[in-house]
A and B are shown apart, each in its own frame.
Chain A
Amino acid sequence: MCHGTPRGSAGRRPYETGPEPADRQSVSREPAYQSLRRSHRRFGVRATAVAVGGFLLYVLLSSFVPGLMNTSVSGHLTVGLALGLGQFVLMGVIVWRYLVHMRTRVTPVVRGLRGLVRHHETAERQRTAFEARTAARGEEYRPW
């Protein structure tokens, strides 16, 4: 019958482009993954710099420029105390932006990459099973 040529795993069909299965690297080499990591780290570093740096700046201002911190906003509430409360507000804003960033940019890419990896594994498994099935068998019995 005409199966198409029953060859072993070394030969591949013409529509199967790309590197050999043995040469395929892990998903960490993919550009999508790289850009995801880069963007996540970039956001994290910037947000941490804003939060922690802002707080440390506040500490430095309190220590070395007390005159600025003593001016009162309303009665006994000084600029220093108001900035302290503003730290909490700033924290809330940054957490909210972080959650939005993860929800909109990171999670979809992660899902896509996870699906890609799972697809690779499944395809690999099916491919090996197919080739095991269609491998050339030696002469098992005399046909006639």
Chain B
Amino acid sequence: MVTLGASVVDRLSLQLTLVLFLSVVVVTLFTALLTAPQRDEIGEFYLGNRAMSPLRNGLAMCGDYLSAATLLGSTGLVALTGYDGLLYLCGTAVAWMMVLLLIAEPLRNTGKFTLGDTLAVRLTRMQRPVRLATALCTLAVTTLYLVAQLVGSVALLTQFTGEPSAATRTLCVIVIGTVVIVYAAIGGMPGATFIQVVKAVMLICGVTVAGVMVLHRFDWNVENLLAAAADNSGQGARFLEPGLRYGASATSKLDFFSLQLAIVLGLAALPHVMMRLLAPKSVDVLRTSVVWAMGLVSLVCLAAGILGLGATAVLGSDTIAENDRTGNAAVLLGARTGRRHPHRPAVLSRLRHPPRGRRGPHPGRRLLTRPRPLRRGDPQGQGDGDGRAGRGPALGGRHRHPRHAARPDLLGRQLRDPRLPRIRDRRLRHPPDPRLQPLLAAVHRSGRPPQPLRRPAHLGPSRRLLPGRQLRPCLALPGRRFRLVSLAESRNRLHPGRISPRLAGVDTQPSGNEGDLRGLRSAHTRRGRLADFLPPSANRVTNAWIFRRRQIMACGNNSRAVIR
């Protein structure tokens, strides 16, 4: 990989990025125009939309706080110096504590538009000097802040143009400054807020996604990430120890301490963040939005730390340092290399067991069935359904209830008429094998309860018998030949007791009342299904009700009985 300056990536993608950047600038200016305050109200220009939700306010504060310098610089610092960079990020997040606890609510309660107004409320007799002093402080702070930001963004922009030279840098400074002034002047606070919200959302999403990709690359094991980072940096285990950058002497250590002190206490002096504390209408909105801002800033700080460690782990400090001495480009490089992930073997197992909706038979086994017509709703005609089990008893399947067997060409219970009521009685749903019917009729005619099933004596002992095999005539009932029926099916095991006439196929008793609900009263004296007494109602609910009433009647009007 060629590593000189900005030629890490090829020219075409650089130019593409530049075009993208310019289009983003154009879109930004356009949105600033759109969201500009429409009326000439001073409140709208300075405070913006006061009815913003806490999340939006928090996003705006987060976007204001996390500038380009913060993100790029601290990621690069982590990539190059490890522990010290992580401390730096920690300090960035801790800075919001003082603001939340001591400054936010009292400021909002007393302030009007700007910080100068707040001071002037307290010092009523010295309005002009107080405001002048506040303005000078603000200018000083913003100048220093702008310089830091411009350094970071110009470094990035000159990379995109591909020719890092002094002239390009000056040009970029002028361009960026002009753009910012224009949109702040046109858009005022509402425009600036909108842009900060958009920027914050993009920043958070981008950094979080990149951090997740880096973690995914290291299999979500922080230990791996730390080990790889320590190994790939030039310093080994010293990378994760304090003092890589600031540990040279006691002076530099105190320097570091004073830097952290300034970071932690200095957020209160940043006017562009403090002015957003004045925007919300009520105090609890402010509280929630500052808590949101803190949460988002902590998230970005953690993700930036992971990103920096990942950049070192993947690329090594040398590559990053060659690219840019301050490591500002570490974010891009880390994000680009985090995208590759190892091929997971878990993916291959999907190919062996393809997900099937309703599993048909295993594709390896083919049944001897003649080709069937397409099922209703089947796009390709695949799927054999139940095979033989779904067909009628002639082919070896279950017996289907006569009410539902009106369409013999249909396959199974999936395609029965849904308007018909479900049959709840299991005895009706699974009547015994119809080949047993003559036997049951004969037993019923004899009037005695059926004997437990015994093997016919004339057959002799221990002959292997299979279902479907025809035997010699049974002497118990001369003149009849029987086939064996599988006892594995529970429907063929009849309870020893009476065999109902319905089971025997004998005609049920003719009913006297038909088409009349008066038959209900004497339902307990009659045998047979209620459907024989009444015409089936078109109303499914009525059918169900009638059936339920019959059940209750059969239990002696005890509606709490559980009827199986």
Can you offer 20 A-B residue contacts whose CB atoms are under 8 A?
A44-B101, A48-B102, A52-B264, A56-B261, A58-B87, A59-B87, A60-B257, A62-B87, A62-B242, A66-B242, A66-B243, A77-B223, A80-B83, A80-B240, A81-B83, A87-B90, A88-B93, A91-B94, A91-B298, A98-B100
Q: Does B524 sit within 8 A of A, measured CB to CB?
A: no
Contact flags A71-101 to B (C-beta < 8 A → 1, else 0): 0001111101100100110010011001100
Question: Is B197 at the interface (CB under 8 A from chain A)?
Answer: no
Q: Are B242 and A81 in touch, CB under 8 angstroms?
A: no
| Residues of A close to B253: CB separation below 8 A | 63-64
5 interchain residue pairs of minimum CB distance: A76-B226, A62-B242, A63-B253, A51-B97, A44-B101
Quick one: given A74-B223, A84-B87, A94-B97, are A59 and B240 in contact (CB under 8 Å)?
no
Establish whether residues A63 and B98, one from each chain, have CB atoms under 8 Å apart when the complex forms: no
Tell me whether B294 and A95 are in contact (CB under 8 A).
yes
A70 interface hit (Cβ, 8 Å): yes
- Cβ 8 A contact of A77, one of B98, B226, B265: B226
Q: Are A63 and B257 in contact (CB under 8 A)?
A: yes
Q: Is A69's beta carbon under 8 Å from chain B? A: yes
Q: How far is the CB of A89 from chain B (nearest CB, A)?
A: 10
B14, CB-defined interface residue at 8 Å: no
In the bound complex, what is the Cα–Cα distance between A73 and B230 (angstroms)?
A: 16
A107 to B282, CA, bound (A): 12
Given contacts A63-B246, A75-B226, contact A99 B94 (CB under 8 A): no
Min CB gap A56→B, angstroms: 7
The A interface is mostly helix, strand or loop, or mixed, namely helix
Residues of B that sit less than 8 Å from A by CB: 83, 86-87, 90-91, 93-94, 97-98, 100-102, 222-223, 226-227, 230, 240-243, 246-247, 253, 256-257, 260-261, 264-265, 284, 287, 291, 294, 298, 302
- Residues of B with C-beta under 8 A to A63: 242-243, 246-247, 253, 256-257
Which chain A residues border B302 with CB–CB below 8 Å?
88
B101 proximity list for chain A (CB < 8 A): 43-44, 47-48, 51, 94, 98
Check A66/B247 contact, CB under 8 A, given A84-B86, A84-B90, A91-B97. Answer: yes
Given contacts A52-B265, A63-B247, whether A80 and B242 have CB atoms under 8 Å apart is yes
Residues of chain B contacted by A45 (CB below 8 angstroms): 102
Contact of B256 among A43, A44, A59, A75 (CB under 8 A): A59
Binding site for B on A (CB under 8 A): 41, 43-45, 47-48, 51-52, 55-56, 58-60, 62-64, 66, 69-70, 74-78, 80-81, 84, 87-88, 91, 94-95, 98-99, 102, 107
A30 to B223, CA, bound (A): 58
* CB nearest neighbor in B for A50: B97
In the complex, which residues of chain B have a beta carbon less than 8 angstroms from the beta carbon of A47?
97, 101
With A51-B97, A63-B247: A69-B226 Cβ-Cβ less than 8 Å: no
